[in-house]
Amino acid sequence: MEKEQLRQRYESLPDEVKKHLSFEAYAAMPEEVSKHITRFTAGDFEAIKELDDGTDDFGLDDFLFDDEVDFGYEDVNEIKEDNKMKICNTEAMKRIKELEAQKEMLVDNEDRYCQVSYKEGENKIAGDYDYDDTRKKIDALDDEMRAIRCALSKANCTVKVDGFGVTIGEALVMLAQKQNKKAQLESLTENKQLSRNVTYNGVVEYTECVYDVKRVKDDLKMLRGEISALQMAIDRANLTNYITV
């Protein structure tokens, strides 16, 4: 299907659906699914699971579930209270990317259609570009992105990462430091403990590491495990902590 046709079909969806489903996620769906998007019921839950095989850019969280359906656990998706919504950190970061893509699309559309060309004696064909409407939409996207980023920043400074005793923000700094340390240790492990070379005049020359290469390899193995554990802990914190925006 042409992208423009897909875009038109997406824009025709109810605003409540588009609020939870980005155009990129909608475009990634099989056509037989996307053209029938609506509120799902409990009976459709298993069918949706079959579609979510991990190969596409969308998952169960991209669908809007009926508020009246009880799945037996809380926070299936977004929880709205007093015109606000609760989303986990990971969903918030994903939402920011979606909003940035929407803003970029609006800016590109403005650059493309903010002018019209016509010859003398011809009728000017007005497009659907509207300056005020574009400003309103971009400002709304900026407002939402700013609110989400502020909530995320607060969470990063307060939410602790299990097993490490630091906040998410500190854990991200720690992760970068450990990655840099890993790169240096990998470089050190490439050296031989003792190597021998014959110079141009026939003199035997030895090069010896003043550190234990085997120990560095052991340290590197341990460090890789620490990095993996830290990454999982950060991901777990981002998935289990909810912010209100």
Q: Say how far apart CA 152 and CA 156 lie, in whole Å.
A: 6
DSSP-derived letter for residue 159 is P
- Given this model, what pLDDT does residue 81 score? 52
Query: Can you give the pLDDT of all 245 residues of the chain as single tens digits?
Result: 567 777 777 777 776 666 666 777 667 666 655 655 543 333 343 443 444 444 444 443 433 333 333 434 344 444 455 567 899 999 999 999 999 999 999 999 999 989 888 888 888 877 788 999 999 999 999 999 999 999 999 999 999 999 999 999 999 999 999 999 999 999 999 999 999 999 888 899 999 999 999 999 999 999 999 999 999 999 999 999 999 98
